[in-house]
Structure 1
């Protein structure tokens, strides 16, 4: 079970947030950024949820110090501030996600799940969906002992889509990110590779690549 650190100086908000998370995660808490940094030296933390305006050390400074020290634990900022400059400052400090108070705790749980999943993908260079494992070190897709080898661009395309399930990517985005900005390929190339992937995984029930007409493509994951 993942361990989440809640950093919040308001006791009521801190206790409420911890209570909402405890059915799903191991939860620990801190009252300010300085206390949180000390805890990071003492125990393993998978994700941090932090307020911005706190005494002793605020959320911005906490995240900045983490990133400068090479600590890449995902951080979600919870704050009452909502101007563009506030968000820009938060992301510039190294924050991964940003939610405005009052918190919708159901949405917070979705965001936590997504960030933990992405952090796991980055660290292991693998995506695991049910019985399927995408291994970026070997450019293979394994299911129940059966290995499907993909061309590099096919694998990169599938890995990109499955890393962000439900997110729509335009054809130009996929061309730029996978083929490069200076590629001579066009959007027909994307369509060709999508069709190849669909053919190779036609019997797959764990995921589906969906065409969003006029926009691009997205992957949907079907958890059993």
Structure 2
């Protein structure tokens, strides 16, 4: 299994990941979850159950009302990691965007460095 691919998809693109595999060892499951998989399905599986799991993961990723955030003339689109200011659009890497989005969405809150590191980088 390519745990590095899972980690790359999660860190750089914020994509939901469901691993579908025949490997059912606990160590494989642990490694998958540690690298960021949202769900782990082993073969054989019921197609209907897989559909339930896919819907559940997609539901967790639905940003809904917080998909876009406006602060002054700045608009942040979380789905596309896109920032628009004065009719100019730019894109940030995932972690930088997450940090900016967090700070803009809590304008009067002071964050401790360790809290930011934990929230954004998970350490």
Q: Which structure is larger by alpha-carbon Rg, 1 or 2? A: 1
Relative contact order (C-alpha < 8 Å, sep 6+): which is higher? 2
More strand, by proportion: 1
Query: How high is the TM-score relative to the length of structure 1?
Result: 0.28
More helix, by proportion: 2
